[in-house]
Amino acid sequence: MKDDPQTLEEAKHRPEPQSAAIELAVRELLAACDLNLEHKDLRRTPQRVAKVWQEHFLAGFAMDPAAILGDPVEGEAETALVVVRRIPYHGLCPHHLLPYVGEATVAYLPDRKLLGFGRLGDLVTCFTRRLTLQERACNDVVDALMEHLGARGAGCVMRARHTCLAIPDNKHPTEVTTSSVRGELLHRQDLQAELYR
């Protein structure tokens, strides 16, 4: 599943979410649930929700993958597959507005350009801290490595537990795994084996 180019382009120019507007929407949601907004447990809920959404669920929209992958170390001799495992991430399901939490493995086959390892974690954050599907975030990570780094191949595996899956029937230990590969990783089983190990 590949993201709609127009959606990605719109995301680059998306204005920062407004705290006051988010707070108002949360107040209206709580009121619609017939809850007492003056109860001591709910008085600051709209502000808290706005802060969490802006910092943890929408911050990726303001991040630019080209900037994250910019300024690589260039001119290196051909390097074997670079793999970074257990990158923590969380996202928000666009279908139910419920969070998912997991770890990613990201790999790329350099073409004379190397990244700092932390950049791969930043790239995962860029594509997961937005309203998005895990499958789409997985694809976006590898597409960015191919497009902005010029990698000869790239792969990403994401494993997460989804609240929208866990809650309805108490499927709490259920884990979702998605993967995406591009370039030389599509045809080389040795590289795929290293990614999926």
Tens-digit pLDDT profile for residues 77-118 = 677 899 999 999 999 999 999 999 999 999 999 998 999 999
Instruction: List the single range of 22-36, 71-85, 88-102, 178-192 with lowest mean pLDDT.
Output: 71-85
Residue in the block written with tokens 């959606």: 7
Residue 8 is predicted with a pLDDT of: 47
Instruction: List the single range of 7-21, 40-54, 81-95, 168-182 with lowest mean pLDDT.
Output: 7-21
Residue 3 is predicted with a pLDDT of: 43
Burial class (CB in 10 A: 0-12, 13-18, 19+), 7: exposed
Tens-digit pLDDT profile for residues 46-65 = 999 999 999 999 999 999 99
Residue 77 is predicted with a pLDDT of: 64
Tokens of residue 99, six digits: 């969070």
Do both 122 and 37 map to the same domain?
no
Average pLDDT across the chain, whole number: 89
Q: How many CA atoms lie within 13 A of 179 on its CB side?
A: 14
Do both 43 and 81 map to the same domain?
no
List the CATH number of the domain containing 165: 3.30.1130.10
**Structural domain contains residue 12:** no
Do both 87 and 176 map to the same domain?
yes
The parent domain of residue 43 ranges over 18-57
Do both 72 and 123 map to the same domain?
yes
Which residue type, as a one-letter code, is found at position 47? Q
Domain-ending residue, one of 6, 27, 57 = 57
Query: Is-contact 153 189, C-beta < 8 A?
Result: no
Residue 10 is predicted with a pLDDT of: 52
Residue 171 is predicted with a pLDDT of: 75
Domain-ending residue, one of 30, 57, 84 = 57
Instruction: List the single range of 5-19, 120-134, 179-193 with lowest mean pLDDT.
Output: 5-19
Arithmetic mean of pLDDT, 150-175: 91
Do both 97 and 187 map to the same domain?
yes
Question: Residue length, the chain?
Answer: 197
The number of folded domains in the chain is 2
**Structural domain contains residue 88:** yes
Q: Which of 6-10, 58-62, 141-145 has the largest mean confidence?
A: 141-145
Do both 39 and 77 map to the same domain?
no
Do both 29 and 118 map to the same domain?
no
